[in-house]
């Protein structure tokens, strides 16, 4: 038993950073479906290497009411058959993802490519897009992060149109509504303020009239 326990702890470092069924994992995060060299069926060769650096963090939601997290950029365009080399930098202390959907399932299980970082840090990985004009959906799948602003798009070629609800780019599919709960006390307070304001203005007008006369 002691020998087994010793062997287990000795072997732990060997598992760090291993590729588990398409996932490269370590104690800082995970990369899923990294693909720097396998071409889609419709691509005779890589057309271009495109390097993209993406920052994720709370600070990039400044100016967007009700949003909590987002990427520093949310719209990219690359040619068909491009190899996209993504450097994903998480500037928050919590988990964030760069996850793209809709890639060919015969190359990318479930059509996804993902970089996930558990806290502050960065990782780089690659994927190769097909040749067709298409707009790919990017987001963070951590609960509520998409709704709180972490959504983007990647256009290949001319793309297939813009996606909705991308901060600073397109209108929200379901706009955020911030209702005001106006109770009777609220309305009475507003009425009193209005009356006081009118009386004060009349009072000042009367004083000015007396002084001028």
- Could you tell me the residue range of the domain that residue 88 belongs to? 15-156
- The per-residue pLDDT for range 147-161, each reduced to its tens digit, is 999 999 999 999 999
Domain annotation covers residue 167: no
Question: 68-78 burial string, b = 16+ CB within 10 Å, else e?
Answer: ebbbeebbbeb
Q: Do 186 and 127 fall into the same domain?
A: no
- The per-residue pLDDT for range 134-147, each reduced to its tens digit, is 999 999 999 999 99
Residues forming beta bridges with residue 57, ordered by sequence position: 70
Which CATH number characterizes residue 38's domain?
2.60.40.420
Q: Do 73 and 113 fall into the same domain?
A: yes
Judging by beta carbons within 10 Å of its beta carbon (0-12, 13-18, 19+), is residue 190 exposed, middle or buried? Answer: exposed
Tally the domains of the chain: 2
Count of all residues that appear for the chain in the document = 213
Return the residue matching tokens 């990017």. Answer: 138
DSSP 78: E
Domain annotation covers residue 5: no
Percent of the chain with pLDDT over 90: 70
pLDDT of residue 207: 79
Q: Do 147 and 212 fall into the same domain?
A: no
Pairing of strands 83-90, 121-128: antiparallel
Domain annotation covers residue 176: no
Residues forming beta bridges with residue 31, ordered by sequence position: 24, 115
- The per-residue pLDDT for range 161-211, each reduced to its tens digit, is 999 999 999 999 887 776 666 777 877 888 888 888 888 888 877 777 777
- The per-residue pLDDT for range 10-66, each reduced to its tens digit, is 444 444 445 555 899 999 999 999 999 999 999 999 999 999 999 999 999 999 999
Domain annotation covers residue 186: yes
- What lies within 8 Å, CB to CB, of 93 at 6+ separation is 119, 120
Q: Do 43 and 105 fall into the same domain?
A: yes
Q: Do 59 and 99 fall into the same domain?
A: yes
CA 14 to chain centre: 33
Question: Model's pTM, two decimal places?
Answer: 0.75
């Amino acid at each position: 038993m002691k020998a087994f326990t010793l062997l287990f702890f000795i072997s732990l470092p060997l598992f760090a950073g291993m590729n588990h069924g398409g996932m490269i994992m370590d104690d800082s995060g995970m990369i899923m479906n990294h693909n720097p060299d396998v071409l889609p069926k419709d691509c005779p060769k890589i057309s271009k290497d495109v390097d993209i650096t993406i920052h994720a963090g709370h600070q990039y939601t400044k100016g967007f009411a009700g949003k909590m997290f987002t990427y520093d950029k949310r719209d990219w365009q690359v040619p068909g058959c491009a190899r996209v080399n993504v450097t994903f930098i998480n500037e928050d202390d919590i988990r964030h993802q760069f996850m793209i959907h809709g890639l060919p399932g015969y190359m990318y299980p479930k059509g996804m490519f993902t970089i996930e970082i558990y806290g502050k840090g960065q990782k780089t990985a690659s994927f190769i897009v097909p040749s067709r004009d298409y707009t790919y959906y990017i987001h963070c799948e951590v609960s509520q992060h998409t709704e709180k602003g972490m959504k983007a798009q990647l256009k290949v070629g001319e793309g297939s149109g813009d996606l909705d609800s991308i901060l600073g780019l397109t209108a929200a599919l379901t706009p955020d509504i911030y209702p005001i709960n106006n109770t009777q006390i609220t309305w009475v307070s507003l009425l009193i303020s209005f009356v006081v304001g009118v009386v004060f203005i009349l009072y000042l007008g009367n004083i000015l009239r007396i002084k001028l006369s």
